[in-house]
Amino acid sequence: MRSITLMLALLAGCNGNSFNQGIEPSGSSDSGETTDTGDTGDTDDSGDTDDSGDTDTVPEDCTNAWHPVHITGWTKTFTATYEGAEGTATEVGLGATKSPDGEYYYRYQDAISNTSGSGYDTVVTVACDLGADEGMFMLGWEGTYTYLLFDFIPTTDQVEATHSNPRRYFSPEWAVGSEGTWGYDYNLNITQYMAGGGKPSYVLQQVSGTYSDAGTESLELFDGTTVTAYKLTNNSLIVSDSGFGKTEQDIYIEQYWVKGLGLVKETFEDQTEGTILLSKELSGYTGLSPE
């Protein structure tokens, strides 16, 4: 479970207003209800309705071209390396969703698989401008984690995580590249429901770290297009307690974001062991356009 706890600490989080994010028991998203692939450029999706049949206007507080979660139906594919094996990754824009308490949030699917059969398939929930703090926050994450039991049998478990406060992972659009640094510190509770039933397992993690603006770079995309990418780094200390003693990992993440496309390149390094847990680079997209 060690690798997934590292990924969870930086990908996952949920505040007290947790709600069903459309994950079926298998862990795949219910894309038939959420993606609306024909509506790739409509940011407010004013045709959405609530359960009563009345039309609701979806708020646009998460309109950020650097991570366009407000747009429904876009897809991105990546060439990837995960846990030492080559693979593919995907991201899908699922647009806005309404929680039972009447609040709107935004979701996207984040999945990866490699040639050995391991990977994950998740739905991430995002909100913006919480209280007086502007920016983009991860509020929720749940899905499936596939690992190699006895190093050769692919096994898929359901995994959920909740943490003590939302993690601010990106600046508001007007401030991208100009904030310098900002920090985070929270407790993360991970629940893993093992394949085949039985009692779930639990891990408690203390997660703290710092995001840093790292300037801009010129990148050439897979199709030969040259874009200006914003570089964001993340240094994190993860202290895990599974009930059998504590362990520490130093994690370093390097990301490149392009306005209009979102994330285009990422490296996830476990500096404690000197290994690359994940790397991916954009190989295709639909429903989006670089600005």
Q: What is the pLDDT of residues 271-283, one digit of tens each?
A: 989 999 999 999 9
Mean pLDDT, the chain, whole residue set: 81
Cβ of 269: how many Cβ atoms within 10 Å?
Answer: 17
- The pLDDT confidence band at residue 183, using thresholds 50, 70 and 90, is very high
Least Cα distance to 86 among 43, 117, 122, 50 occurs for 117
Predicted model pTM: 0.80
Mean pLDDT across 13-26 = 30
- The pLDDT confidence band at residue 7, using thresholds 50, 70 and 90, is low
Non-local (6+) Cβ contacts of 207 within 8 A are 9, 10, 163, 167, 184, 185, 186, 187, 188, 236, 237, 238, 239
Burial class (CB in 10 A: 0-12, 13-18, 19+), 153: exposed
Cβ of 257: how many Cβ atoms within 10 Å?
Answer: 21
Mean pLDDT across 221-231 = 97
- Quick check: is 92 in a domain? yes
Percent pLDDT > 70 in the chain is 79
- Quick check: is 252 in a domain? yes
- Quick check: is 103 in a domain? yes
Which amino acid would we find at residue 139?
A: L
Number of domains in the chain: 1
**Looking up tokens 């039933």, which residue turns up?**
197
- Quick check: is 272 in a domain? yes
Q: What is the span of the domain harbouring residue 135?
A: 2-286
- Quick check: is 291 in a domain? no
- Quick check: is 138 in a domain? yes
User: pLDDT value at position 59?
Assistant: 61
Percent pLDDT > 90 in the chain is 51
E strand or H helix that includes residue 11: helix 2-11
- Quick check: is 257 in a domain? yes
6 phi-psi bin (left φ>0, alpha ψ -120 to 50, beta other): alpha
- Contact indicator for 200, 192 with CB cutoff of 8 Å: yes
